[in-house]
Amino acid sequence: MTRPRAVGFIAALMLSLLTACGDGQAPAGRWEGFSASGEWLVAARLQVDPGNTIHATALSVNVGGISLPRRLELTSKIKATLIAQWPKAVVGKVDYKDRTITHAGGVAPLFTFDPKSGSMTFYFYAGGKLTEKIRLYPVAHFSSRA
């Protein structure tokens, strides 16, 4: 392959890879949810704005082996803290493809969208591995009470 042809081929390949990364617009809206499993309490909020910009916050507490009264106390605390921390929510750019939101240029799912129910599923990672999937429900306004 001649040098100009090779450069053109590489440029075309790079362009196709960049456009394949995020081929769609994530659905705009707000979602929130809470999950209590045997090991984790997880609360999350997500706001998607046009242009694939998200505001997101999630809090988690490992509750393996913790008593029920303490779990209930932690449930109230995590929900209240989520509300208090929302004004400081992380803002970032994301890619959206096949109903999946990833970090811009990333591959691990952060959220998946279910168009039938309008819900999002939050992928919670602990220790570098997928630990829980938490369903987030669409809301017009975020709750101001725990």
Read off the pTM.
0.80
What is the tens place of the pLDDT at every residue in 42-87? 999 999 999 999 999 999 999 999 999 999 999 999 999 999 999 9
Helical (H) or strand (E) element with 124:
strand 119-126
- Helix boundaries (H) for 1-146: 3-21, 68-85
pLDDT confidence band for 23 (50 / 70 / 90): low
Could you tell me the pLDDT band of residue 146, with boundaries at 50, 70 and 90?
low
pLDDT at 11 over 50: no
- Residue 76 has φ and ψ, to the nearest 5°, of -60, -40
